[in-house]
Structure 1
Amino acid sequence: MKKTLLLSAIALTLSACSNTQTVEQAQQFAPCTFPDTPTVEAPAWICDVMPKDLAAGAMGYAKKSAAGMSVMRPIAINDARVQLASQFQTDVNSMFKQAIESSVNTTTDAGAVENTLETVENITKNVVTRSLSNSKLIVSQVSPAGGLYVLVGMDKQAYQENVNQIVDEVAQNSSLYKQFKSEKAAENLNEALNSLKSM
């Protein structure tokens, strides 16, 4: 009897595992809820589903405060801007890495490329820390628990303007080009940087 029950349980488990979902079913997302009120449905941007007309965006949060919105709003916006800057810096470093490796790697040694990437990452970090211009508050939402959620983002034009600002600062850094032994490698690097401005 125990053997039959055990075999039945194994068979039932195996049949459940072999049940396949369609691609459409697998792609359906669970409804978005407020993190501070998990039983209440929230707008999709609170769950990091960014609107299509933004090139980049980030969600910020401020918990309910007795001081009210005049204190909560700047906290939430600052939280979002910090996250947006971090995301932008990662995106731009990735773009630089691809451009530099594809354009320069064939004409110079790996050490020079690695040093160049480190220099570019430092410049990018400095520029993003100083100013990430034209990011703006897109929308805000108060949760049922009283917390404030905000979406801060950049449209495609603002995003490209920020990329161009970083490209200009990188291109003006003379130590970047000194790492290459040949003039051709430095020229290739310059072309790679300029290609990022026309994306």
Structure 2
Amino acid sequence: MKKTLLAVTSLSLLAACSSTQTVEQAQQFAPCTFPDSPTSEAPAWVCDVIPTDLAAGALGYAKKSAAGIGVMRKVAVNDARVQLAAQFQTDVSNMFKQAVESSVNTSTEQGAIENVVETFESVTKNVVSRSLTDSKLIVSQVSPAGGLYVLVGMDKQAYQANINEVVDAASQEQKLWHQFNGEKATEDLTNALNSLKAM
């Protein structure tokens, strides 16, 4: 009897919780704290909650240094830019893969599609390693332990400009076009590249 009552009570509580929570309440994050000072509350961006007016952002960190805040800022910003570049590269490669899979003629060989995706990923890596333009320091915060946290990001316009740079470089890459034979396949690839520029 006690087990049945306990089970019914538990189910009632679960049902009540699930029926009274809004989407906003369900997505609220646990309080954010600084990783180097876990008892101190931190801004949400320190816990990777990227502001909605940024298309992409990354967190950088520099530990407290006797060299001063200027050196710490350079270290933290470089750390964030490396992570932002890796994130951007992955995002653009995934978008291109989706565009190719949805645009390319189904009669095209799977191996050719894979080669095109790999070539595009290589082009993206080369472009990103040369320069990821218009990323900037958005905000910084010193933790109670003395470490410096920074958020580096790109707004939607800067993000799209970087995508366009990758697409322009890919359009010039002969290896990308040699994978496909035929007018229709070339048209498909052109459409896939253009879809990235139209985002």
TM-score clears 0.5: yes
Letter in 2 for 1:150: V
Alignment of 1:1-199 (within 5 A): 16=10, 19-20=13-14, 21-22=17-18, 23-24=21-22, 25-199=25-199
Post-superposition shift, 1:182?
A: 1.6
Structure 1's consecutive aligned runs of 4 or more residues displaced over 2 angstroms after TM superposition are: 7-19, 21-28
Q: Give the conservation status (yes or no) of the 8 Å contact 1:36–1:147.
A: yes
- 2-side partners of 1:143 and 1:94: how far apart? 35
Post-superposition shift, 1:114?
A: 0.6
Post-superposition shift, 1:191?
A: 1.6
Post-superposition shift, 1:27?
A: 2.6
Q: For residue 140 of structure 1, give the secondary structure of its aligned residue in structure 2.
A: strand
What RMSD in Å do the two structures reach over aligned CA positions?
A: 1.9
Q: Give the conservation status (yes or no) of the 8 Å contact 1:60–1:150.
A: yes
> Which one is further off, 162-171 or 12-21?
12-21
Q: Percent identity?
A: 68
Letter in 2 for 1:91: D
Query: Deviations 1:118-164 (Å, cap 9, x if unpaired)?
Result: 10011111111111000000000000000000000001110000000
Post-superposition shift, 1:186?
A: 1.2
Letter in 2 for 1:118: E
After TM superposition, the score normalised by the length of structure 1 is 0.90
Query: Deviations 1:171-194 (Å, cap 9, x if unpaired)?
Result: 111121111122210111012101
- 2-side partners of 1:160 and 1:68: how far apart? 35
Post-superposition shift, 1:28?
A: 2.5
Letter in 1 for 2:170: V
Letter in 1 for 2:47: C
Could you say which residue in structure 2 is the equivalent of 1:4? none
Q: For residue 61 of structure 1, give the secondary structure of its aligned residue in structure 2.
A: strand
Q: Give the conservation status (yes or no) of the 8 Å contact 2:89–2:124.
A: yes
User: What 5-or-longer segments of structure 2 have no aligned partner?
Assistant: none
User: What 5-or-longer segments of structure 1 have no aligned partner?
Assistant: 1-6
Q: For residue 194 of structure 2, give the secondary structure of its aligned residue in structure 1.
A: helix
Letter in 2 for 1:57: G
- 1-side partners of 2:12 and 2:26: how far apart? 15
After TM superposition, the score normalised by the length of structure 2 is 0.90
- 2-side partners of 1:48 and 1:26: how far apart? 18
Q: How many residues align?
A: 193
Post-superposition shift, 1:11?
A: 7.3
Q: Which has the larger radius of gyration?
A: 1
Letter in 1 for 2:28: Q
- 1-side partners of 2:110 and 2:36: how far apart? 48
1:60–1:11 Cα change, 3 Å: farther
1:140–1:112 Cα change, 3 Å: same
Letter in 1 for 2:31: P
Q: For residue 132 of structure 1, give the secondary structure of its aligned residue in structure 2.
A: coil
Q: Give the conservation status (yes or no) of the 8 Å contact 2:105–2:188.
A: no
1:72–1:11 Cα change, 3 Å: farther
